[in-house]
């Protein structure tokens, strides 16, 4: 592990049975190891990369434990060796490097990372959240009594923003809204912009008048409204984003291994076992379905538009 090279749950490359037993004790997979090893000689390992960006708003130790449990379960169900980082999660830089050098077969990542390596990933099979057409939405909220009903009404006011793995397109979306309204950059339009990883610490300051507007996930806001109906009654949306697929799984375009279809089936059956449900709770999705890359187009369009906005703003500052 200290070498930084990928490891597998079942320890396919151990030379002796004693080393296999030692590794099984270390990972707590004594009961699963024999079955996982059974097919090791017949099928090449599946090299999996999981982006650390997916756990930006979760406890990293909880996330590692949940992912390890899920990967161990997958090895059994797939009868396939899975190689992954010793730290479980990879940085964006590592994922880009491994994808471009053909050192990964499957990857879990966000849409911002996907843009960097889309040309080496297979667009025909994207494994994404099935809930509400698999899409996230962002909402820009104000207090109903404030009288603000348009984005232009928020000039010079205080904004709070949710920060998290599913909010990776939020800043880009806001910049395109401001551009469409000819309102300038967010750091110049608002008097202050603060971020937090907890939805309650983003939404409630608006409710109590400590901030003037907030940008959060519609899913999180709806959940808060169910728990506290006053929140949904007293806050109103100034703008709502289209549905966006922002976190998902994909295959390298050159990966056509025997385990691919089994990998797809295990992921789409994820809610049907305790380890999968734990993972779904931690990473905030309901179930996964297989689509093609067309489901990513709304998010990609926002990122591309925001990039054009930044380019124009940078060019204007140079003049």
Summarize pLDDT for 139-177 with one digit per residue, the tens.
999 999 999 999 999 999 999 999 988 999 999 999 999
pLDDT at 265: 80
Average pLDDT over residues 84-100: 94
CATH class of 136-241: alpha beta
Which tokens belong to 47?
Answer: 């090299």
d(CA 148, CA 104) in angstroms, rounded, equals 49
Q: What angle do the packed helices 260-268 and 60-78 form, to 10 degrees?
A: 120
Confidence of residue 43 (pLDDT cuts 50, 70, 90): low
Dihedral, 49, 51, 52, 58 alpha carbons, nearest 10: -110
Written in H, E and C, the secondary structure of 199-235 is HHHHHHHHHCCCCCEEEEEHHHHHHHHHHCHHHHHHE
Taking the CA atoms of residue 198, residue 161, residue 111 and residue 70 in that order, the dihedral angle to the nearest 10 degrees is: 0
Span 23-42, average pLDDT: 37
> Would you kindly state where each structural domain of the chain is located, as residue ranges?
7-131+246-295, 136-241
State the chain's mean pLDDT as an integer: 83
Q: Please give the helix or strand (H or E) that residue 116 lies within, else none.
A: helix 111-117
The H helix count followed by the E strand count for the chain is: 13, 12
**Mean pLDDT lowest among 65-74, 180-189, 240-249, 300-309:** 65-74
Report the pLDDT averaged over residues 255-274.
Answer: 80
Residue 313 pLDDT: 82
pLDDT band at 58 (very low <50, low <70, confident <90, very high): low
Q: Answer with the residue of higher pLDDT: 51 or 39.
A: 51
- The rounded percent of the chain whose pLDDT value lies above 70 is 83
User: For residue 19, what pLDDT band results from cuts at 50, 70 and 90?
Assistant: very low
| Domains 7-131+246-295 and 136-241 are alike in CATH topology | yes
**How far is 104 from 66, CA to CA, in rounded Å?**
21
Q: Which residue do the tokens 């907890």 mark?
A: 198
> Which pLDDT score, from 0 to 100, does residue 35 have?
39
Measured between alpha carbons, how far is 234 from 193 in angstroms, rounded to an integer? Answer: 22
* pLDDT in the model for residue 132: 54
- CATH homologous superfamily of 7-131+246-295 equals Periplasmic binding protein-like II (3.40.190.10)
Which phi-psi region, left, alpha or beta, contains residue 209 (left: φ > 0; alpha: ψ -120 to 50)? left
Interval 220-232 mean pLDDT: 92
pLDDT tens column, 276-305: 777 777 777 777 889 999 999 999 999 999
Which residues have C-beta within 8 Å of that of residue 21, sequence separation ≥ 6?
A: 30
Cβ–Cβ under 8 Å, residues 127 and 161: no
Query: What is the pLDDT, as a whole number, of residue 24?
Result: 35
């Amino acid at each position: 592990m200290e070498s930084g090279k990928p490891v597998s749950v079942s320890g396919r490359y151990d030379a002796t049975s004693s080393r296999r037993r030692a590794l099984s004790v270390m990972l707590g997979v004594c009961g699963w190891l024999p079955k996982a090893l059974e097919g090791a000689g017949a099928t090449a390992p599946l090299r999996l990369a999981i982006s650390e960006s997916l756990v930006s708003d979760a406890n990293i130790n909880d996330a590692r434990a949940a992912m390890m449990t899920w990967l161990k379960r997958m090895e059994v169900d797939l009868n396939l060796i899975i190689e992954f980082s010793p730290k479980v999660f990879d940085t964006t830089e590592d994922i880009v490097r491994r994808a471009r050098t053909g050192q990964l077969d499957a990857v879990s990542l966000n849409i911002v990372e996907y843009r960097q390596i889309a040309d080496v990933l297979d667009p025909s099979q994207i494994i994404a959240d099935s809930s509400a057409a698999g899409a996230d939405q962002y909402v820009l909220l104000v207090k109903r009594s404030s009288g603000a009903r348009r984005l232009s009404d928020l000039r010079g006011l205080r904004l709070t923003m949710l920060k998290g793995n599913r909010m990776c397109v939020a800043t880009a979306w806001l910049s395109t809204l401001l551009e469409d309204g000819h309102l300038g950059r967010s750091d110049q339009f608002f008097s202050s912009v603060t971020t937090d990883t907890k939805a309650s610490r983003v939404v409630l300051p608006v409710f109590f008048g400590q901030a003037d507007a907030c940008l959060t996930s519609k899913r999180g806001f709806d959940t808060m409204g169910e728990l506290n109906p006053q929140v949904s009654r007293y806050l109103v949306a100034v703008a709502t984003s289209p549905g966006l697929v922002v976190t998902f799984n994909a295959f390298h375009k050159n990966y056509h291994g025997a385990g691919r279809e089994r990998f797809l089936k295990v992921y789409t059956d994820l809610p049907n076992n305790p380890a999968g449900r734990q993972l779904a709770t931690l990473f905030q999705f309901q179930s996964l379905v297989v689509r093609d890359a067309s489901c990513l187009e709304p998010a990609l369009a926002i990122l591309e538009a925001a990039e054009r906005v930044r380019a124009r703003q940078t060019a204007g500052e140079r003049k």
